[in-house]
Every structure is written in C-alpha cells, then in structure tokens.
Amino acid sequence: MLSLHVLVEPKHHALQHEWVRAMRGLRPSLRRELTALSFLFRWTLPNCFLPDATTPYDDFETELGRLRSLRADVAAYELLRTLYDHGGGQRPGRRRVLADPEVRKLALRQAGTLGSTAVRAAALLFDDPTRLVYRFAGLLEGYWEEAFAAEWQRLEPRLADGVVAAGRELATAGIFGFLVGLAPQLRVDPDGSTFGLDVPHDHDVALGSGNPLLLVPSVYVWPHVLVNCDPPWPLALVYRAPHLAETLRQPTSPELVRVLRALADPTRLRILRQITLHPRSTQELAPIVGLSEAGTSKHLRLLADAGLVETHREGYYVLYSLASKPLDGLGGDLRRYIHSRAAR
C-alpha cells in the first residue's frame, strides 16, 4: 500500500525514484486502474490494511482474503477515510456517516480532483462498497503478481532485521528514546510521556497493556510517519526502516573534508605537484609558486594539517614531501594532476 502511495506521489519520496521508474512498465490496464483507485492511497491509507501483532506473518493471499471478508459497512467506512476524516474525538457511527449526503458530497468533490474515473469509483463507497472492495482487492492482486512479489523477496529480510534492531533499541532506550528522531513531524514531548502528530485528526489515546502500540518498519513510508489511533484497527506507528536511516545518516569523514578543503586551491595544488619531483623547502617553493615565504608557509601548514605533506629536516632547511596515503581514495584525474611531472 505504501509503495502505491509512492507511485502516485513520487515528489515526496526521493529515496524511491528507482522504484517509480521501474513501475513505468506496468501494463496499461493496471495503470488505468491504479489511477482510478488512487484516492485510496494518495493522501492517506485506510487503517484496515494495518498488520495485526497478534497474528503470524501471513502470506499475501491470506491478507487479501481478510480484506475481502470485511463487512460492507466496516470496509466502506475505512476506505472513506482517504476522502473524509471525522476529525478525531468521539468516533461517529459508520452508518450515519455513510448515509450523510454532505459527507458524500465532500468525498466525491475530493475524488473529483483526480478525474471522472475516480469519482465513479468513489461513489461505490456509498452505493456498493462490496464491489469496490473486490475491485480494489483485484488491483492489489494484479499489482502484487506483476510487480511487488519479487520486490517483497528483497525487502522482507531487511524488514525482519529492522524489527530485531528496533527491539534492541527499545530494550536500551525505551519507547520515547526510540521515537525521538524517527521523523521531523513526529512530536515527542521532552517529559517522555506523550507523542504524536500535529494533524487535523485530533484526539488523545492512552497506551497500556490493553491498548499496545504496534511499531511497523517500512521501506516506503519515508519521509512520512503514519499513526493510527482509531479502533478496531491496531494502535500503530509506521516508521522508516532502520537501514534507510543508515543511508541518510552516513557521516562525512572529517579527514576527507580536511583533505578536500586543502586541495581546493590552485596554489596548494601547484605546491603538491612541485614536491612530487623531490622534497622542497619553503624558500625553494616560494619563488616557484610566486608567493612570499610567509604566504607559502601558510599553504604548507594547511597541507600538513590535512596530512597531505610530510616534513624532515636537512641541516638548516625543513623539506616537504608528498604523503601519498590521503590521496589513495581520491579521483584518478586529481591524482594524475598532482603526480604529473612539473616544469623545472
């Protein structure tokens, strides 16, 4: 479901553009149905698709059967959530909401922003919800068979590792320590007693043994985080899988930054070229590069701080030579420039 959201809102999901490009090859009939039913996953997701922590890891066919077996009013109310939200607080009755002409008007107006096929499909929420559920289940089945089954083989081990990693972090940092930093829009109070999202759907839910929180890692949710707080579906938080966070947080080596900063100057590059021929002193380098001895010394200190040059003393003179190791990881063009034979 989250991957479908990525397909229709790719601008929000920079890490998944490779998947979006791969899905351009979907057969035309499937793409048309994705467009017609995109109101079910474009803005938010129905809570009835959330996994249940009390069940085993069911296969796709079992999950699909669970969707098809939903009572018509339950399914319609949950699918309607993608077009109309009751705003939190006391949850209104399903039948009353579905029978409200104003709700229908608002929902179809929102679906209308996606075109006439979306309006006709959204009308089934009120007129024939069972037909819409089976139609949507057919779309999911076709999408799974054509595109996502192979993707799941790749993702499932990483998500399983993410569950293990989250368990370790929860054991050491606790739930609020785990939540801090998951996403900018997830508000975690400093006193460590409440967390949530600032959205129009506004109400408070107490966690406890009778109302546990289900944590669901996802490859496709970033940069969002999703929260469900409405029964009968699990109280859940869907967050980005840990391995995605690792790719986003890969630190820049301070040593590499110092090396690149030292190299980002034409005079220092000329100095490095000169000392590849043989070690040279400040007094020898200054006239070659066209600077005073003081100016040359300043550049040499920056190169030495970056580990790019080494020194040794010969009598009165301090001689500078190239330290090759910091250059090993740099691009070939840069290495060739520095090691090319300088004019004498």
Amino acid at 43: W
CA distances from 41 to 23, 36, 82, 135 (A): 16, 11, 7, 14
User: DSSP labels for 244-263?
Assistant: HHHHHSPPPPHHHHHHHHHH
CB-based burial label for 300 (10 Å; 0-12, 13-18, 19+) = buried
6 contacts 16 by C-beta, under 8 angstroms: yes
Residue 43, domain member (yes or no): yes
Q: Which residue has the tokens 């979907």?
A: 26
286 shares its domain with 303 = yes
Q: Which of 214, 248, 282 is the last residue of a domain?
A: 248
First to last CA, the chain: 67
278 shares its domain with 138 = no
- Sequence-distant (6+) residues with CB within 8 A of 77 are 94, 97, 98
100 shares its domain with 231 = yes
Q: Which of 220, 248, 276 is the last residue of a domain?
A: 248
Q: Which residues pair with 218 in a beta bridge?
A: 240
Specify the CATH number for the domain of residue 259.
Answer: 1.10.10.10
CA dihedral of residues 21, 26, 29, 34 (deg, nearest 10): -50
Give me the phi and psi of 188, to 5 degrees please. -120, 115
219 shares its domain with 302 = no
Which pLDDT belongs to residue 319?
92
**Angle (deg, nearest 10), helices 266-277 and 332-339:** 60
106 shares its domain with 178 = yes
Which pLDDT belongs to residue 340?
58
Which pLDDT belongs to residue 113?
96
Q: Which two tokens stand for residue 313?
A: 């003393």
28 shares its domain with 160 = yes
Residue 344, domain member (yes or no): no
pLDDT by position in tens, the chain (length 344): 999 999 999 988 888 888 999 999 999 999 999 999 999 999 988 888 888 777 777 889 999 999 999 999 999 999 998 999 877 666 678 888 999 999 999 999 999 999 999 999 999 999 999 999 999 999 999 999 999 999 999 999 989 988 898 899 889 988 888 888 777 778 888 776 788 877 777 778 888 888 888 889 999 998 888 888 877 888 888 988 877 766 555 556 677 778 888 888 999 989 988 888 789 999 999 999 999 999 999 999 999 988 888 998 888 889 999 886 766 656 555 556 556 554 43
| The total number of structural domains that make up the chain | 2
238 shares its domain with 258 = no
Which pLDDT belongs to residue 93?
81
Q: Which residue has the tokens 């009968």?
A: 232
User: DSSP labels for 158-187?
Assistant: HHHHHHHHHHHHHHHHHHHHHHTTS-TTEE
98 shares its domain with 214 = yes
Q: Which of 228, 248, 268 is the last residue of a domain?
A: 248
Show the domain range for 16: 2-248
223 shares its domain with 108 = yes
CA atoms in the 13 A half-sphere facing the CB of 153: 5
Q: Which residue has the tokens 């929180």?
A: 213
CA atoms in the 13 A half-sphere facing the CB of 254: 1
In terms of Cα–Cα distance, which of 326, 319, 323 is closest to 258? 326
Q: Which two tokens stand for residue 302?
A: 């920056």
pTM for this model (two decimals): 0.71
158 shares its domain with 277 = no
234 shares its domain with 267 = no
187 shares its domain with 234 = yes
